[in-house]
Structure 1
Amino acid sequence: MQPNVIRPIAICVFQHNGRILVAEGYDPLKRQTFYRPLGGAIEFGEYSADTIARELTEELGAAVVDLRYLGALENVFTFDGRPGHEIVMIYDGAFADRALYDQAAIDGVEDSGHPFRAVWVSLADSLDPAAPPVYPTGLLELLAL
């Protein structure tokens, strides 16, 4: 994260049997696990839908089909003690390879080379205040529409 810069990102919500696919994250300062749908930074000159296709190919080697724009959220947050600000373009989509829906966890690698794990979490369970938060803030409400 660059300080004092608003970062445009695009994420994709993959839904299956009342669950969504999210990357697991951890904030060491807050000692908190959190979840966020997959996606990443929109590059200059790139449409946000193209960002989804590029990011999922780079990080998981997976093709995405049936992208549908859901809306945008503004995400102002603190991670590891540093402030962040994102404009998040949100899409619904599907994997071309249906076998990915049967995997409990999918291992991926970010552009930086940092490995991550994506897991399927229950939308209903995510509403429990004791559950790890799903970011960006407002996403679960947007999905309920």
Structure 2
Amino acid sequence: MNNGIIRPLVICPFQKDNRILVAEGFDESKGDHYYRPIGGGIEFGESSADALKREVEEEIQATISNISYLGTIENIFQFNGKQGHEIVQVCHAEFADSTIYELESFEGIEDNGTTLKLYWKSLSEFEDGNLRLVPENLLELLKRNGGIRVFRGEPK
């Protein structure tokens, strides 16, 4: 996180049934666990769709298809005692390998070598306030777009 920099990101709340795929994080200054869909920074000259494909490949070695834009969230937040500011493109996509939808949890890796713990979490856990989904307003964006799109069988 760079102070004074607005960071462009793309994320994808991959969906199966009424659950989304999220990475678990922890804010040490708040003592707070949170969950965020995978994705990452958009590089100069790169489209958000290309950035999403690259980030998913880098983080979990998976190929995705059928990318569609859901909306944008401006995210101004505090993490580990520092302010952050992001413009987050939110997309829907599908995994080319349908076996990923069968896993309850698995691991990935960030570009800095940190291990990601990924889980399929029910939207009701976020709606009930049992778990915290970031960026803020992501759950509302998903609801405005007709809820989640249910994965049914092989992606196109």
Does the 8 A contact of 1:8 with 1:86 survive in 2?
yes
Is 1:82 the counterpart of 2:76? The answer is: no
- Alignment match, 2:92: 92
CA distance in 2 between partners of 1:45 and 1:106 (Å): 31
| 1:103 maps to amino acid | L
Question: Is the partner of 1:20 in helix, strand or coil?
Answer: strand
Question: Is the partner of 1:5 in helix, strand or coil?
Answer: coil
CA distance in 2 between partners of 1:68 and 1:8 (Å): 17
CA distance in 1 between partners of 2:64 and 2:124 (Å): 25
The Cα of 1:24 is off from its aligned counterpart by 0.3
| 1:101 maps to amino acid | Y
| 1:81 maps to amino acid | G
Does the 8 A contact of 1:32 with 1:132 survive in 2?
no
- Alignment match, 2:30: 30
- Alignment match, 1:66: 66
- Alignment match, 1:140: 139
Does the 8 A contact of 1:108 with 1:116 survive in 2?
yes
| 1:65 maps to amino acid | S
CA distance in 2 between partners of 1:35 and 1:97 (Å): 23
Identity of aligned residues (%): 46
Does the 8 A contact of 1:40 with 1:51 survive in 2?
yes
Does the 8 A contact of 2:65 with 2:96 survive in 1?
yes
TM-score (norm 1): 0.97
TM-score (norm 2): 0.90
Whichever structure has more strand as a proportion of its residues is 1
Runs of 5+ unmatched residues, structure 2: 145-156
Runs of 4 or more off by more than 2 Å in structure 1? none
Does the 8 A contact of 2:108 with 2:118 survive in 1?
yes
Q: How many residues align?
A: 144
Does the 8 A contact of 2:125 with 2:131 survive in 1?
no
The Cα of 1:132 is off from its aligned counterpart by 2.2
